[in-house]
Structure 1
């Protein structure tokens, strides 16, 4: 089956009937602005500013009901931009009261802001009207009701990203500290964040302190923390290098305090990362089709959790190409007359979903025999560039995952390969 986006676009336009009140809301942190039009785009009523609380939402409800009664309209569709996290509360509140809430692409709002007045001016009232016009013209997508497990994955993956960012920052600062205070430590330990190097930094933070010790004292300190220490040779080398270190000998107390805090931040980030990843594994066990997807050689827990957390329930997609469009991995072409431009990725979708699909595809190309064969065929036989082949395989992965989620079937290697390769 071929996925045709134009058929869906027609359905979105036909869904807005003459009985619809189309409301556009410009989302902000504290005060939202709403405008309303009918199915032809004629402005109805005045703009409404309402606060981001229960009283403000009730005033929006009364405003909508008043406009429906005045213009004899029986249905309402509310459109808004998914701006940060500010839209979540009002969208949930409206959805709980049986309003149809749809989302518009912020990039598209910016492109359409000159349609009515042919000026680049921008205001909250104008943006709300642009959003209402876009919904009327069918440029919207439905707000998906994400099951709790998938929402938990999205929150956990977002938390993991922030923890990893802090962990990388702590590692980089530890490397900087070593380069300034004790650069010779790299001659003893190949990796500064290995157990032996970190224990040495905790027990003997400066070369001045280390140079006053004997190798036996260093080994005794290592034994107090490590079951297997680095050995007498490295202990002797440490003491020798510390005695002639070229590191900074000023502001010793400040450097020691800084290192202590950096090591504490590193330990905290490592502990939090372990807890978050354990929670991710526990949540994946509650999703029925996740186990069969993890059975695919090359699919990791984090990459699958990232895909499911950003995309939600994959069985809700009619085709793998719909998942690609959701991620912004669909192709876009720019051509005019005899000139044909280069095909590029649209990047009009979830950036984190693109990242996890790409990571998962790279892992499959490195570890999965079927994907390795397809990549080799694309590069050697079809003469594709390697990155183009990877992008093509991202589409293959999306179709496999959506197909498995919709059918409930396990991964079948023979069905993965194209006919010319399977033969």
Structure 2
């Protein structure tokens, strides 16, 4: 099946009929603003400002119903920008009231601000009107309602990103601390976040403490924290390196306090990361098709959870190309007359979905025989650049994932292998 975006655009325009009341809502933290137009863009009624609570939402619904009655509209469609997290509660509340809710791209709203009055002016009322105009012109996307499991994955993976950033930050600061206070420690422990290095930093981090110790004392300390310790030779090396260390010799009490806090942050982030990833595993077990997707060699639970958390139920996508568009991985071209511009990725979509599709594809290229062969064929036979081959394989992965879920099929390696050239 060939996926054509123009057909989808035509369908979105045709959905808006002369019986529709088109409402645009400018989202804010506390007070939203709504404007309404008909299918031709003629303004209907006065603007409405309403609070971000149940009373305000009820006022919006009464306002919509009143305009429908006065102007003889049969149905209403409400468009809004997905601004931060402020739009989520309103969209879900309207969805529960059986009102069609759609979103518009904030970038396009900014581009269309001058269409109404040919000025660069900006206000909440004007923004709401611009959003309503975009909806009646078909520049909108329906909100994809997700089940409990997919919502959990989205929240968990968002939380995981925050935890990973904190963990990486604490590791980087521990590395800096070692470089300043005891740089020779790297000659014994190559990885500062390894068990042996972390145990040493907990017990006797500064060279001053190590100089007055015996190797057996260090080993005894390691045994209190680890079942398998680094050994006598490394303990002796630490003592000898500490005696001729060029690390900072001042303010050791302040440095030790700083290190204690860094290790506390490291421990907390590590524990939280393990807990979140265990919960991700539990949620994936609740999704029927997840195990079939995990059977693909090279697909990890974290990559799949990131894809499903952002995309939701893959059976809702008509084609793999629509999944790519959802992540902003479709192509954009700038050409005019004889001049042909460069074709680039639009990146108008979910950045986290792009990231996990890329990471999953890189893992497949390294671990999956079929994708490894495809990548090799692209680079060596078709003379593609490596990154262009990866982008092409991302599209193939998207089509495989959507196809497997829609047809409820298992992974078939024979369908993925490249065609062998016919011998002359």
What TM bracket, shorter-length normalisation?
Answer: over 0.9
2:228 partner SS? coil
Q: Which residue of 2 aligns with 1:124?
A: 124
Query: What whole-Å deviation, never above 9, does each CA across 1:281-306 have from its counterpart, x for those lacking one?
Result: 11111111110111111111111110
Dislocated runs of 4+, deviation >3 Å: 418-423
Offset at residue 417 of structure 1 (A): 2.8
Distance 1:11 1:199, change over 3 A: same
Offset at residue 212 of structure 1 (A): 1.1
Offset at residue 249 of structure 1 (A): 2.0
Answer whether contact 1:326 1:350 (CA < 8 A) is retained: yes
What is the TM-score with the length of structure 1 in the denominator?
0.98
Q: Which residue of 2 aligns with 1:380?
A: 380
Offset at residue 205 of structure 1 (A): 2.1
Query: What whole-Å deviation, never above 9, does each CA across 1:68-103 have from its counterpart, x for those lacking one?
Result: 111111100000011111000100111111100001
For 2:59 and 2:410, the matched residues in 1 are separated by 51
Answer whether contact 1:182 1:247 (CA < 8 A) is retained: yes
Distance 1:114 1:249, change over 3 A: same
Matched, 1:114 2:117: no
Q: Which of 62-71 and 39-48 deviates more? A: 62-71
Query: What whole-Å deviation, never above 9, does each CA across 1:182-210 have from its counterpart, x for those lacking one?
Result: 11111111111111111111110211111
What is the TM-score with the length of structure 2 in the denominator?
0.98
Distance 1:188 1:260, change over 3 A: same
Answer whether contact 1:414 1:422 (CA < 8 A) is retained: no
For 2:101 and 2:224, the matched residues in 1 are separated by 61
For 1:133 and 1:207, the matched residues in 2 are separated by 69
Residues matched between the structures, number: 423
For 1:66 and 1:228, the matched residues in 2 are separated by 74
Offset at residue 419 of structure 1 (A): 4.0
For 1:118 and 1:383, the matched residues in 2 are separated by 49
Matched, 1:40 2:40: yes
Matched, 1:96 2:76: no
5+ residue gaps, structure 2, are none
Answer whether contact 2:184 2:241 (CA < 8 A) is retained: yes
How large is the Cα RMSD of the aligned pairs? 1.2
For 1:228 and 1:73, the matched residues in 2 are separated by 75
Offset at residue 44 of structure 1 (A): 0.8
Q: Which residue of 1 aligns with 2:105?
A: 105
Query: What whole-Å deviation, never above 9, does each CA across 1:308-361 have from its counterpart, x for those lacking one?
Result: 000000000000000011011011111111111121111111011000001011
5+ residue gaps, structure 1, are none
Matched, 1:251 2:256: no
For 2:401 and 2:300, the matched residues in 1 are separated by 14
Matched, 1:400 2:397: no
Q: Which residue of 2 aligns with 1:309?
A: 309
Q: Which residue of 1 aligns with 2:219?
A: 219
For 1:146 and 1:134, the matched residues in 2 are separated by 25
For 1:420 and 1:223, the matched residues in 2 are separated by 58
Answer whether contact 1:327 1:353 (CA < 8 A) is retained: yes
Offset at residue 422 of structure 1 (A): 10
Matched, 1:200 2:203: no
